[in-house]
Amino acid sequence: MITYLISQIEDPDAADYVSEIFKQYRLLLFHTAQEFISDQFVKEDIVQDSLIKIIENLDTIRKLNCYTLPAYLVTIVRNTAINYLRHSKIVNDHILWVDSDELSSFSPNNERSMDDYITLLQNSIYITKIWPRLSKADQHVLFAYYYVELSSAEIAESLGCTENAVRMRLSRARKRVKAELIKEGVVYE
């Protein structure tokens, strides 16, 4: 993937420069990523994302001397890793819509069947899988409504829009969730 990224640079001199930077500082980049991430595949993703940022900031990087360049590269990788960890934490904190109270409501004496319980768990797994594919706006409105259990009025107030706009956003977000679940083969039209 890294050679592909470098090959996409139109200017051959810039491509050679980035290739040389990567060859010279490859171990430093991976070591910096490893300070934050232990998973090898995620580490590679962090370094690749960092390489994209290096390519985007090539004009700035070319102006750096040989003493400040490694520090700049480490900063890019470190910030990319920190952003990844923040995003992962947000996703993990907000991904499941199944409330523990809802799960604990399933008992032999309850009118809900074990089939309902299994369906609820399976749906939460599929929602978790498709969640990153939803837009931030969809995630926000769905999370606020279903997980935090805010009313349409409360969401409207926090977003600075009307209740009707929130209801429309919820409706559209639900349709997008359903479309993603159809792609996964979980829901049929």
Is the CB of residue 123 less than 8 Å from the CB of residue 134? no
Block residue for tokens 């009307």: 162
pLDDT (tens digit, 9 = 90+) per residue, 57-78?
Answer: 899 999 999 899 999 999 999 9
Please give the Cα distance from 57 to 73 (Å, whole number). 11
Q: Is CATH 1.10.1740.10 what the domain over 100-184 is classified as, yes or no?
A: no
What does the domain layout of the chain look like in residue ranges?
Answer: 2-92, 100-184
Please give the biggest Cα pair distance in the chain.
73
Query: How far does Cα 46 stand from its chain's mean position?
Result: 13
Domain spanning 2-92, CATH architecture? Orthogonal Bundle (1.10)
**Residue 31, SS3 per DSSP:** helix
Tens-level pLDDT at each residue, the chain (189 residues): 677 777 778 888 888 898 999 999 999 999 999 998 888 888 999 999 999 899 888 999 999 998 999 999 999 999 999 988 888 776 665 554 444 454 455 444 444 455 655 665 666 777 778 888 888 888 888 888 877 778 888 888 888 889 899 899 988 988 888 888 788 776 655
